[in-house]
Amino acid sequence: MITNQARHIIETWRLGFVATSNLNGDVSLSPKGTFLILDETSLAFAEMRSPNTLRNIAEKPEVEINFIDILSRKGVRIAGRAHNEPRGSQRYAELLPQFLAGWPELEELFNGFIIIDVTACRPLSTPLYELGVEETALRQHWKSKIRDMSD
């Protein structure tokens, strides 16, 4: 089940880091920025230039995805089973309008959509919270740091 906190982080930040592995245990970690929540138990991203991810999912469909709110240093860890819906499939056609609503300029790069059936959804947070640091202070700190980087 995708929690409300997970939904908020995914829909706000969109960038998720997808970990896959092949049968030999070789791990691939790939950032993906086109995530959509399909329902309470599944999400998807557009497959573009992801040969290792595709190959690994075909061999071993278990994936793990981390989404992080970089300001609060809170996030969510999603585990699930993934499969590819290639361009031309019926499911691809059904999902295409949702992806075009968010990323119309990327349509020609879409090779398919990776669908993840969620098996676990767990929160992540920085150890600083265990020391009593408040979220407001962390957000202010990281906003300031980002502003300083853009000067």
Model confidence pLDDT, tens digit, residues 76-117: 999 999 999 999 999 999 999 999 999 999 999 999 999 999
Mean pLDDT of the chain: 95
Q: How many structural domains is the chain composed of? A: 1
Rg over alpha carbons for the chain, rounded to the nearest Å, is 17
- The strand order across the sheet containing 74-86 reads 27-32, 16-21, 62-69, 74-86, 112-125, 42-47, 36-39
The pair phi, psi for residue 65, each rounded to 5°, is -130, 135
CA distance 139 to 5: 17
Range of the domain at 22: 4-150
CB contact at 8 A, 32 and 45: yes
Give the per-residue SS3 of the chain: CCCHHHHHHHHHHCCEEEEEECCCCCEEEEEECCCEEEECCEEEEEECCCHHHHHHHHHCCEEEEEEEECCCCEEEEEEEEEEEEECCCHHHHHHHHHHHHHCHHHHHHCCEEEEEEEEEEEEEECHHHHHCCCHHHHHHHHHHHHHHHHC
- We report the CATH number of the domain holding residue 22 as 2.30.110.10
CA distance 106 to 120: 30
Each residue's pLDDT expressed in tens, for the chain with a length of 151 residues: 999 999 999 999 989 999 999 999 999 999 999 999 999 999 999 999 889 999 999 999 999 999 999 999 999 999 999 999 999 999 999 999 999 999 999 999 999 999 999 999 999 998 888 889 899 999 999 999 999 987 6
